[in-house]
Amino acid sequence: MALAPDRVIRGLLLDRDDTLVVDVPYNADPHLVVPVPGARRAVDRARAAGLQLGVVTNQSVIAKGMATREQVDATNARVDELVGPFDVWCVCPHDAGDDCACRKPRPGMVLDAAERLGIPPESIVVVGDIGADVQAARNAGAQGILVPTPRTRRQEIDEADTVAADLEEAVTLVLEHVGSVADRA
């Protein structure tokens, strides 16, 4: 499984929990942020290749009243410090039952990030650890790469167009599509 060969990738959007950092359920404490192995190296490689980078993350902890937006922003700032910097952050503060346009698998955050980066969604890849991440990419017209964890459901893996063993492999796949189509011919 690979990315579409006719697309030039200019942007990379990453899920936060279990993609960039070890998932601590409902984390709003910056001191608990720990990057997944290889995350810094992978992000650095993507940045060095000229990709614009962003994070798209569902944070229902806000809607559930378990943390404030300020606490989540502080946690995201710690992620940015350890793994970034990122050009754009998009955070959905809603719960799964809310009828918002931003919560993945809906395309809102991917489209918002694309607009803020000045890149068409077709030139973006979204990397995440669950089916909602890659479905949000599809729904926005972007491509998705699933990086499964032990919590990823088998069906999500089977339905993903592209699967990578880890974030570093995902970035390697993306870097094969950076530049113009003519450059790769």
pLDDT tens, residue by residue, 38-47: 999 999 999 9
In this prediction the pTM is 0.94
Catalytic entry in 6, 15, 23, 44 = 15
Average pLDDT, the chain: 93
In angstroms, the CA 128 to CA 111 distance is 16
Q: Answer yes or no: 15 catalytic.
A: yes
pLDDT tens, residue by residue, 100-151: 999 999 999 999 999 999 999 999 999 999 999 999 999 999 999 999 999 9
Q: What share of the chain is helix, strand, coil (3-state, %, to 5)?
A: 40, 15, 45
pLDDT greater than 50 at residue 185: no
Catalytic entry in 17, 112, 129, 133 = 17
Q: To the nearest 10°, the Cα dihedral for 141, 44, 131, 124?
A: 0
pLDDT tens, residue by residue, 72-103: 999 999 999 999 999 999 999 999 888 899 99
List the domains of the chain with CATH numbers.
11-180 (3.40.50.1000)
| Amino acid at residue number 173 | L
